[in-house]
Amino acid sequence: MSKKFLTDVIVEATGMPASRAGVLAADIIGAIRDEIIDTGRFTLPEFGSFAVRETKPRTALNPRTGEQVKVKAGATVKFKASPNLKQDALAGLKKAKRKAARA
């Protein structure tokens, strides 16, 4: 999903001018980002949740040289889909496979 996609959905649903819908989409994205930064998590019911997870320091391999490289500890944002989203995504995947098999 992109900001443009979100803007288009807002325009279609409300009839709002695209410039105002773009500002609204940016504000929504900013609010979600701020919530993740402030609390370390953000949940959208029926969609899923985002949570900050710490990563441990580790040793990785440089794919070009095969040399071992130390990677520092850090943080990443993980997404966990809601059960409803998983179920709907699986149904969509099965439908796409059936459609492809017919073609």
Q: What pLDDT, on a 0 to 100 scale, did the predictor assign at position 48? A: 96
Distances (CA, A) of 77 to 16, 23, 53, 57, 73: 32, 24, 6, 16, 14
Average pLDDT over residues 12-33: 95
Q: What is the pLDDT of residues 27-69, one digit of tens each?
A: 999 999 999 999 999 999 999 999 999 999 999 999 999 999 9
Nearest to 3 by CA among 25, 32, 28, 20: 25
Which H helix or E strand runs over 76?
strand 74-81
pLDDT, position 50: 96
Q: Has residue 1 got a pLDDT over 80?
A: no
Backbone angles phi, psi at 57, to 5 degrees: -65, 145
Q: Decide if pLDDT at 9 tops 80.
A: yes
Q: What is the pLDDT at residue 79?
A: 96
* Position 95 confidence tier, pLDDT thresholds 50, 70, 90: confident
Q: What is the pLDDT of residue 97?
A: 87
**Alpha-carbon span 39 to 48, nearest angstrom:** 16
What was the pLDDT predicted at 22?
95
The partner residues of 92 in beta bridges, in order of sequence, read none
